[in-house]
């Protein structure tokens, strides 16, 4: 007898479950997508124990006929595909027909559904892939799926699940994602009876962002105007954060292709490229992006969980997203505002910690912390009693007095006096902009007031009060100046009276040989000078000669550690950033009023005055409205 055999359906379903059902959030994802494909407008997700004990999803979609409810648990049974041609242009979220049988094979599943075409509904119970019951019951139109005891028959898989907090965080993140993708629908997520997310239908994506994340997050976002290429074949909308919003991970990046949740390296790289030199390399922005395109232009059948896609014109999509985001940031020039706006707080599910340790840190209250002292056994202390002292004799005798009636007496605690606001506290001068523009359009009209600690420039404008970091502002000016000179091939140089001889390590020598041509384009004139030694004969005119040696070594270090795999343009930006940082005005440096005024005017002429080449914010603005609110004038 041969060794090759055909696996039973039960074994095949469990193998498929290993690909499709990675954790409880995978079950929620498959069921949510089925609800959305069914046209549901109201979706409720209930969980217990991080989804291990229970996952219940209730929707008001089209439901299923009785025969379809039975057939749905067969492998590769689906209503979303009929031919191979349809596989080339998939418009639905699900299409394989593997989710239900795979989930049913590793859990105790109950399906209750009713189609509008039938007067009664159907109830199907399955445990470990075996059907236990199939009944006809009265139901409202829609579908309810309850998944209990996930991986009860696969202990090895159950052992690899993380803590309840971690699994719940993945579920909350998933439901939050899809609530953002479908603002016209209502979503509700509860865990153990506690509400984590509840959003009602709204008209725009902006309103849904406000519902989920609150006013503080929305204030830090820039809305993308709809951009398209190839006569609308590819379209991009969404929100991106200002450069001062810097996250430590990618959890705040929400990507959708045709409203499908994805994690695509191509788009993630395009976002990073758009923010290059605007935020630090190890930080990430907030991004909510919707890429809409012809279904034939994207292949979603490349990963079992359908979270990865492949664009047929990958380079075109990458450059389109990168250029659109970069152009929006340059056009809007968003400026950070100091006080946090007052408004609704974000939904609990939008920022759920991914571990119990993180949750413990958030729950810890420092005002309740006490030093830990060693405990001592209680000691016997002596008891003291006080002898009562006779009161002094009364000075007046009120025994014969007439009782006072309290019916019409004044209240014991008089109301505080309310003073009328005098005319001197009246309206604010006319011509002041209460609603400041989102960008830095008024930067060139600022009036310098002075400095703080010889490091920060204070300036006033019609839109409020500005604080500008003089070092990073000058750094941005020099950075763009160097790049412009390099593009024209007209870098201003200063020649050294005596060449500066610099020794190199073997690694630095290798990097020097690789980037010598770029150093020359940046304004350096260098040549080999013996074994592992170079001679520097000229340098950019803006660079202080005292920093020349340090800049050369910085550039070689950057080339060795960060720029080996990047493009030539990124290498030039890295060199320009090092030059700008060393040549810029330093902090703790007193500036004349004319110098500060020049600095602000030049900053206003730059393309990206929001941040320095390393990603630090340049300016901070207190708008007039925020100032008036702080002084209780509005």
* pTM (2 d.p.): 0.76
Q: Please check the confidence at residue 371 and state whether its pLDDT lies above 60.
A: no
E strand map for 161-296 = 186-191, 194-199, 221-229, 234-241, 253-257, 260-262, 287-293
DSSP code at position 279: S
Q: Is residue 599 pLDDT above 90, yes or no?
A: yes
What is the per-residue pLDDT for 462?
85
The pLDDT value recorded for residue 319 is 95
Alpha-helical (H) ranges within 489-622 are: 506-521, 548-561, 568-583, 593-604
- Mean predicted confidence (pLDDT) in 22-50: 94
Looking at residue 367, its pLDDT comes to 40
222 has a pLDDT exceeding 60? yes
Range from 169-183, 284-298, 342-356, 375-389 carrying the lowest mean pLDDT: 375-389
Confidence of residue 385 (pLDDT cuts 50, 70, 90): low
pLDDT at 383: 56
User: Exposed, middle or buried: residue 159 (CB in 10 Å: 0-12, 13-18, 19+)?
Assistant: exposed
Mean pLDDT score, 192-207: 95
Strand-pairing partners, residue 110, are 125, 146
3-class DSSP state for residue 85? helix
For residue 408, name the pLDDT band (cuts at 50, 70, 90): low
Query: What integer pLDDT is reported at residue 185 of this predicted model?
Result: 97
Binning pLDDT at 50, 70 and 90, where does residue 362 land? Answer: very low
DSSP 566: S
Q: What is the mean pLDDT of residues 2-22?
A: 74
- Diameter of the chain measured on Cα atoms: 122
- Could you tell me where the DSSP H helices lie in 251-345? 265-274, 314-332
Give me the mean pLDDT over the 222-241 stretch.
93
Which pLDDT score, from 0 to 100, does residue 569 have? 78
The DSSP secondary structure of 99-158, one letter per residue, reads HHHHHHTTSEEEEEEE-TT-SSEEEEEEETTEEEEEEEE---SEEEEEEESTTTT-HHHH
pLDDT tops 90 at residue 114: yes
* Per-residue pLDDT reduced to its tens digit, 137-146: 999 999 999 9
Q: What's the chain's average pLDDT?
A: 84
At 614, is the pLDDT very low, low, confident or very high (cuts 50, 70, 90)? confident
What's the whole-number mean pLDDT along residues 601-607?
93
d(CA 545, CA 537): 11
pLDDT tier, 389 (very low <50, low <70, confident <90, very high otherwise): low
Q: Is the pLDDT of residue 1 over 60?
A: no
Cα 350 to chain centroid, rounded: 10
């Amino acid at each position: 007898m041969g060794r090759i055999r055909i696996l039973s359906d039960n074994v095949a379903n469990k193998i498929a479950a290993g690909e499709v059902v990675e954790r409880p959030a995978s079950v929620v994802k498959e069921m949510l997508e089925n609800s959305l494909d069914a046209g549901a407008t109201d979706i409720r997700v209930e969980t217990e124990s991080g989804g291990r004990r229970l996952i219940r999803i209730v929707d008001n979609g089209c439901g299923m006929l009785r025969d379809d409810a039975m057939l749905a648990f067969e492998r590769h049974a689906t209503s979303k595909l009929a031919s191979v041609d349809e596989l080339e242009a998939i418009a639905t979220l699900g299409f394989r027909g593997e989710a239900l049988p795979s989930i049913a094979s590793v859990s105790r599943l109950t399906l209750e559904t009713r189609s509008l075409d039938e007067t009664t509904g159907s109830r199907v119970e399955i445990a470990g892939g075996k059907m236990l019951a199939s009944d006809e019951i009265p139901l409202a139109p829609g579908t309810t799926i309850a998944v209990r005891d996930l991986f009860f028959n696969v202990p090895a898989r159950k052992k690899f699940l993380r803590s309840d907090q971690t699994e719940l965080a993945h579920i909350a993140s998933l439901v939050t994602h899809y609530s953002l993708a479908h603002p016209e629908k209502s979503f509700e997520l509860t865990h153990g009876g506690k509400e984590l997310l509840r959003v009602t239908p709204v008209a725009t994506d902006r309103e849904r962002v406000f519902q989920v994340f609150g006013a503080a997050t929305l204030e830090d976002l820039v809305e993308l105007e709809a951009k398209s290429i190839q006569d609308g074949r590819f379209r991009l909308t969404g929100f991106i954060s200002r450069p001062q919003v810097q996250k430590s991970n990618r959890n705040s990046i929400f990507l959708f292709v045709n409203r499908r949740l994805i994690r695509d390296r191509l788009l993630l790289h395009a976002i990073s490229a758009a923010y290059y030199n605007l935020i630090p390399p190890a930080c990430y922005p907030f991004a909510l992006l919707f890429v809409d395109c012809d279904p034939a232009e994207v292949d979603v059948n490349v990963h079992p969980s359908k979270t990865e896609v492949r664009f047929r014109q990958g380079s075109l999509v990458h450059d389109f997203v990168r250029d659109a985001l970069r152009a929006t940031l340059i056009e809007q020039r968003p400026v950070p505002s100091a006080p946090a706006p007052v408004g609704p707080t974000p939904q609990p599910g939008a920022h759920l910690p991914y571990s119990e340790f993180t949750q413990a840190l958030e729950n810890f209250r420092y005002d309740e912390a006490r030093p830990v002292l060693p405990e001592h056994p209680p000691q016997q202390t002596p008891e003291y009693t006080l002898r009562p002292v006779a009161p002094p004799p009364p000075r007046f005798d009120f025994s014969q007095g007439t009782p006072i009636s309290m019916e019409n007496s004044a209240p014991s605690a008089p109301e505080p006096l309310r003073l009328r606001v005098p005319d001197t506290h009246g309206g604010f001068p006319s011509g002041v902009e209460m609603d400041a523009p989102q960008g830095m359009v008024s930067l060139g009209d600022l009036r310098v007031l002075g400095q703080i600690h010889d490091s920060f420039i204070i300036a006033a404008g019609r839109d409020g009060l500005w604080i500008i970091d003089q070092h990073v502002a000058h750094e941005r000016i020099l950075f763009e100046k160097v790049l412009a000179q390099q593009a024209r091939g007209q870098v201003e140089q200063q020649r050294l009276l005596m060449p500066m001889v610099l020794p190199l390590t073997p690694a630095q020598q290798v990097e020097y040989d690789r980037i010598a041509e770029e150093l020359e384009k940046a304004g350096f004139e260098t040549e080999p000078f013996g074994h592992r030694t170079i001679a520097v004969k000229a340098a950019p005119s803006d660079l202080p000669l005292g920093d020349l040696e340090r800049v050369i070594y910085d550039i070689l270090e950057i080339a060795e550690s960060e720029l080996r795999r990047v493009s030539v343009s990124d290498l030039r930006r890295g060199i320009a950033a090092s030059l700008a940082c060393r040549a810029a005005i330093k902090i703790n440096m007193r500036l004349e009023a004319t110098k500060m005024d020049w600095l602000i005017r030049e900053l206003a002429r730059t393309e990206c005055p929001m941040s320095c080449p390393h990603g630090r914010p340049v300016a901070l603005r207190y708008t007039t409205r925020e100032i008036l609110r702080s002084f209780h004038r509005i």
